[in-house]
Structure 1
Amino acid sequence: MYKGIGFTFLIALLGYGLALIPGFKQIGPMACAIILAVVYRQIWGYPDTFRTGIQFASKKLLRFAIILYGLKLNMDVIFHEGLGLLAWDAGTIIFAITVTLLLAKWLKADTSISLLLGVGTGVCGAAAIAAVAPIIKAKDEDTATSVGIIALVGTVFSICYTLLLPILDVTAEKYGIWSGISLHELAHVALAAAPGGQDALAIGLLAKLGRVFLLIPLCFILVYWMKRKNHSESNGKVDIPWFLFGFIAMSFFGSYVLGTYLPVTDSFMSGVATATTFILTTAMVGLGLNISLADVKTKAMRPFVAMLITSVALSLLTFVLL
């Protein structure tokens, strides 16, 4: 097993290295690592002795990364400053999932990938996709494909936002909120909002954190939906996503214990955030090593189109309504 885990770590490190190259830097290490994993799998495959470790990375490490991701959610800030933005955030999530699924149905697209992309667009990109994938029993290749698509589209959108900023007649606050409620991941919001100044960045990240917070009730809604769906179809059961309770616990721990009863430095928190991203990247490598490009070509194009249309509509609609 350790050989397989070490193999995923190595590709993750190579992904970080690739992300340092101009052109790949904007895509980010996670997407770069997935690309390397997919390409490696198609050309060379991997020994059977690696399989157990790769599966461990794609499942156990993935859940551990989601638990650690809870430290990024400062509930105290949301409860005291971000409640007014939660309505916008909820609207974003409902719009993204609903429109993506409606378009997917019209395009006859794969439902599992479309739902993952809708959740990723509405909530918080790769982390949200990783959180809901076990709940809806998505295949590993569907999860990895969705993460790759969301990373690519989110990066392109965030760059477009920065290019549009000089010609948009908007305040820093409006630009920050627009970025925070319409872009895909925390990193995308930071990339797009930073050129608008500190005020734009602060309000943008606050709006985005509200969407991360809403991942919690969304997951429980999906659990309830899957139970009803399975009961009506085959009396099946849905496994309780215990890692979600870990995510909630870490959110409260990071919000009310760290820094208050347990003083920590900014460098320590930065190190934890870096470690979390690396572990999540390693897990995504495990998923990427299970991707068959032939399946992606046939299954992912229509969900990608549905998600892209939804993202454009979400961006335009939120800008007009703000």
Structure 2
Amino acid sequence: MQMRGWKPLEQKALIFSSPNEQKKSEKKLNVSWIFGIGFTMIIAMCGFLLATLPGLNHIGALACAILLALVYRQVFGYPERLRTGIQFSSKKLLRFAIILYGLKLNMIGIFHQGFPLLLRGAVTIIFSIVVLMILAKWLKADLNLSLLLSVGTGICGAAAIAAVSPIIKAKDEDTAMGVGIIALVGTVFSIIYTLLFPFLPISPIDYGNWVGISLHEIGHVALAAAPAGQDALPNALLAKLARVFLLIPLCFVLMFWMKKKGKIEGDAKFEFPWFLIGFIGMSFVGSYIIGNEFVVSKKHMSDIAVFTSFLLTMSMTGLGLNISLKELRTKAIRPLIAIIITSILLSLLTFFSI
């Protein structure tokens, strides 16, 4: 029987361990950290390579990497020895990638277009969140996963899910599942848009606006708008970036909601998502400083964008390793149905509002 106030034997052993044993423990921790990061890097590279293949190029590197991580987890199990590095990739690198993602946000274009552009983006976001959450309750779907999908549908897919998940205290597996679902649904819809365009009674500019205010990821917007020509793509991207801009106020609304609803238990401190400040700062840097071609060339900006995508893919690999197929089967079906119905309704609403 253990007396009150005595520490467990394991803790005593750790406290009274020799300096040599402590050094060995620290060395093992460092090796786990390095090899864990390297492991997520290798899978991310494989995801990028898979995404270059015909058919898989429409899905994207993020979804390919998550699929690879999911298969590895089910076949070989979770690599416990690499946990420290994998968690670093899934949490720290994720926040760094979101900060760099701010470089893609063109503040100048958004401020120039003004209130109407932001209003359309706000309608899309509110509609997506309200409708998908109503459907989720009706279908008795997992509400946390559904909330992530509603934010991803309304704003900017995987990046929005990654930004919001730490605020609402989402589980890693829910974040990874959300990213995978949004990648799948967005890809299918972007291909459908491309096939429909020749038969639609609208101009390329209007088509670009429709694509930008209704599709999920920036990649999906580019995929669907590019076949419509040079007039469609800039309008589509600008409309999409207005929705990305609204990620900032939405995150602060969610923070307020979490506090008001008492989602933070007991005396636990609320962790302010400082990476959002970095996201805002980088968006201004990208728009007003390095966005100038005389300061940084388009090639270098493109390289930064690829690096950002790679970091995001590494972090999603870490999250994908947490997915259990059993939970995927039980949790993902109903949210998937909810996001498909919401996406169809959103496409119809935005098409008739152009």
TM over 0.5: yes
- Tell me which residue corresponds to 1:192: 224
- Tell me which residue corresponds to 2:43: 11
Equivalent position to 1:214, from 246, 253, 260: 246
CA contact (8 A) 1:173 1:199 kept: yes
- 1:162 matched to 2:217? The reply is no
- Tell me which residue corresponds to 1:271: 303
- Tell me which residue corresponds to 2:261: 229
- The structural deviation recorded for 1:66 is 0.2
Three-state SS of the structure 2 residue aligned to 1:291 is coil
- Tell me which residue corresponds to 2:6: none
Residues 228-286 of structure 1 show CA distances to partners (whole Å, capped at 9, x for unaligned) of 11269756542110111110111111111214597011110000000000000000000
- The structural deviation recorded for 1:84 is 2.3
- The structural deviation recorded for 1:296 is 1.1
Three-state SS of the structure 2 residue aligned to 1:198 is coil
- Tell me which residue corresponds to 1:102: 134
Residues 88-113 of structure 1 show CA distances to partners (whole Å, capped at 9, x for unaligned) of 10000000001010110111110100
- Tell me which residue corresponds to 1:121: 153
* One-letter code aligned to 2:329: K
- 1:314 matched to 2:346? The reply is yes
Residues 200 and 262 (structure 1), Cα distance of their counterparts in 2 relative to 1, 3 Å cut: closer
What is the alpha-carbon distance in structure 1 between the residues aligned to residue 114 and residue 211 of structure 2? 15
- The structural deviation recorded for 1:317 is 1.1
Equivalent position to 1:30, from 56, 59, 62: 62
* One-letter code aligned to 1:193: A
CA contact (8 A) 1:172 1:197 kept: yes
Instruction: State TM-score, norm by structure 2.
Output: 0.89
What is the alpha-carbon distance in structure 2 between the residues aligned to residue 215 and residue 13 of structure 1? 28
What is the alpha-carbon distance in structure 1 between the residues aligned to residue 261 and residue 72 of structure 2? 37
**Which shows bigger deviation, 288-297 or 43-52?**
43-52
Instruction: State TM-score, norm by structure 1.
Output: 0.97
Equivalent position to 1:130, from 162, 166, 170: 162
- Structure 1 residue runs of 5 or longer lacking an equivalent are none
- Tell me which residue corresponds to 2:324: 292
- 1:73 matched to 2:105? The reply is yes
- 1:144 matched to 2:141? The reply is no
What is the alpha-carbon distance in structure 1 between the residues aligned to residue 263 and residue 193 of structure 2? 44
- The structural deviation recorded for 1:320 is 1.3
* One-letter code aligned to 1:60: K
- 1:247 matched to 2:279? The reply is yes
- 1:257 matched to 2:299? The reply is no
What is the alpha-carbon distance in structure 2 between the residues aligned to residue 232 and residue 279 of structure 1? 29
**Which shows bigger deviation, 104-113 or 44-53?**
44-53
Residues 26-59 of structure 1 show CA distances to partners (whole Å, capped at 9, x for unaligned) of 1011100100000111101243221110000000
CA contact (8 A) 2:132 2:339 kept: yes
What is the alpha-carbon distance in structure 1 between the residues aligned to residue 206 and residue 323 of structure 2? 40
What is the alpha-carbon distance in structure 2 between the residues aligned to residue 301 and residue 149 of structure 1? 10
Residues 262 and 243 (structure 1), Cα distance of their counterparts in 2 relative to 1, 3 Å cut: farther
- Tell me which residue corresponds to 1:61: 93
CA contact (8 A) 1:82 1:207 kept: no
- The structural deviation recorded for 1:25 is 1.2
What is the alpha-carbon distance in structure 1 between the residues aligned to residue 309 and residue 351 of structure 2? 30
Equivalent position to 2:213, from 168, 181, 187: 181
CA contact (8 A) 1:189 1:208 kept: yes
Residues 162-217 of structure 1 show CA distances to partners (whole Å, capped at 9, x for unaligned) of 00001111111110010000000100000001111111101000000000000000
What is the alpha-carbon distance in structure 1 between the residues aligned to residue 93 and residue 203 of structure 2? 41
CA contact (8 A) 1:135 1:241 kept: yes
| CA-atom RMSD in angstroms | 1.4
What is the alpha-carbon distance in structure 1 between the residues aligned to residue 264 and residue 68 of structure 2? 41
Equivalent position to 1:86, from 114, 118, 121: 118
- The structural deviation recorded for 1:299 is 1.0
- When the two structures are aligned, how many residues end up with a matched partner? 322
CA contact (8 A) 1:231 1:237 kept: no
Aligned-pair identity (%): 65
Residues 40 and 196 (structure 1), Cα distance of their counterparts in 2 relative to 1, 3 Å cut: same
What is the alpha-carbon distance in structure 2 between the residues aligned to residue 231 and residue 162 of structure 1? 42
Greater CA radius of gyration, 1 or 2? 2
